[in-house]
């Protein structure tokens, strides 16, 4: 039943075909953000979440993640960009390959009217420690803010905030090194599992 010292064990993300999931990501440290977002999207799609039900939003930095997630649950925006669908079933992640990850946000293509709440939101950011205590401040309040939004709205908010001491640690956790693992994949699985469990528990 349980396996591995670290990690969530075998995925319990079974059938996500009924789910609507938002991914909100910071644009700081985009080189690391991009594979993390892509990893999450890949796992959502593997669980059957329809691309048009994967909504992408970006914010400048991790500090902005809590307000963005809160507005997604509580706001009244009706025209949020979904995953871009290009060339039939060849679903793209929205990456333009030029560092402007999810440049899709704010464009019309793939937009879909929002209907009700999301079943889960994944908040993704990468904080890399610098020379000052700035990192500690942002990490602390962003984490608290995300938990607060999750409990206030009673909807799973997956914690995709990496707080790393250096870029190399980030690269490992974004699956960019030989011994690394893409944590975004775990976040995608967690979103599906928790969204389904939340429906059961409601
Ligand atoms: C300012 C800042 C710094 C120094 N470092 C990061 C970082 O490593 N990761 C991140 O996501 N954001 C960083 N930011 C930006 C803040 O999160 C925020 O966007 C700005 O302070 C504007 O509110």
Report the separation in Å between the CA atom of 187 and the middle of ligand 1, taken as the mean of its atom positions.
Answer: 21
What are the start-end ranges of the H helices in 65-129? 65-74
Pocket test for ligand 1, best of 24, 27, 58, 63 (most atoms within 8 A of CB): 63
Pick the residue whose CA is nearest to atom 6 on ligand 1: 127
Which pTM was predicted?
0.85
Is residue 134 part of the annotated active site? The answer reads yes
What is the complex's ipTM, to 2 decimals?
0.99
Beta strands in the chain (DSSP E): 21-26, 54-59, 79-81, 111-113, 120-128, 157-164
Pick the residue whose CA is nearest to atom 19 on ligand 1: 61
The enclosing H or E element of 122 equals strand 120-128
CB 158 within 8 A of CB 187: yes
Active-site option among 50, 134, 137, 183: 134
Domains of the chain, start order:
21-201 (3.40.50.960)
Q: Walk across the sheet containing 54-59 and list its strands.
A: 54-59, 21-26, 120-128, 157-164
What is the pLDDT tens value at each position of the chain, 202 positions in all?
Answer: 555 567 787 777 689 999 999 999 999 999 999 999 999 999 999 999 999 999 999 999 999 999 999 998 877 666 677 775 443 333 334 433 333 334 333 333 333 444 457 999 999 999 999 888 889 999 999 999 999 999 999 999 999 999 999 999 999 999 999 999 999 999 999 999 999 999 999 8
Report the separation in Å between the CA atom of 31 and the middle of ligand 1, taken as the mean of its atom positions.
Answer: 15
Pocket test for ligand 1, best of 27, 62, 67, 163 (most atoms within 8 A of CB): 62
Q: What is the spatial distance between Cα 14 and Cα 36, in angstroms, rounded to a whole number?
A: 21
Q: Is 187 in the pocket of ligand 1 (CB under 6 A)?
A: no
Residue 138 Cα: closest atom of ligand 1: 17
* β partners of residue 127: 163
Q: What is the spatial distance between Cα 194 and Cα 47, in angstroms, rounded to a whole number?
A: 13
């Amino acid at each position: 039943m349980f396996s591995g010292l670290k990690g969530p064990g075998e995925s319990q993300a079974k059938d996500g075909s009924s789910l609507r999931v938002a991914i909100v990501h910071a644009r700081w440290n985009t080189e690391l953000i991009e594979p993390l977002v892509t990893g999450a999207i890949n796992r959502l799609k593997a669980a059957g979440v329809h691309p048009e039900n994967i909504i992408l939003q970006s914010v400048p930095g991790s500090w902005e993640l809590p307000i963005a997630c809160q507005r997604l649950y509580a706001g009244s925006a009706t025209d949020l960009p979904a995953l871009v669908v290009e060339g039939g079933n060849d679903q793209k992640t929205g990456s333009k390959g030029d560092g402007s990850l999810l440049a899709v946000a704010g464009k019309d293509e793939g937009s879909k009217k929002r209907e009700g709440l999301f079943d889960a939101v994944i908040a993704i950011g990468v904080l890399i420690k610098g020379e000052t205590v700035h990192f500690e401040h942002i990490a602390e309040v962003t984490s608290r803010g995300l938990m607060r939004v999750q409990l206030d709205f009673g909807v799973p908010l997956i914690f995709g905030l990496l707080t790393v001491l250096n870029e190399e640690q980030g690269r490992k956790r974004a699956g960019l090194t030989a011994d690394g693992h893409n944590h975004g994949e775990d976040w995608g699985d967690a979103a599906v599992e928790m969204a389904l469990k939340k429906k059961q528990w409601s």
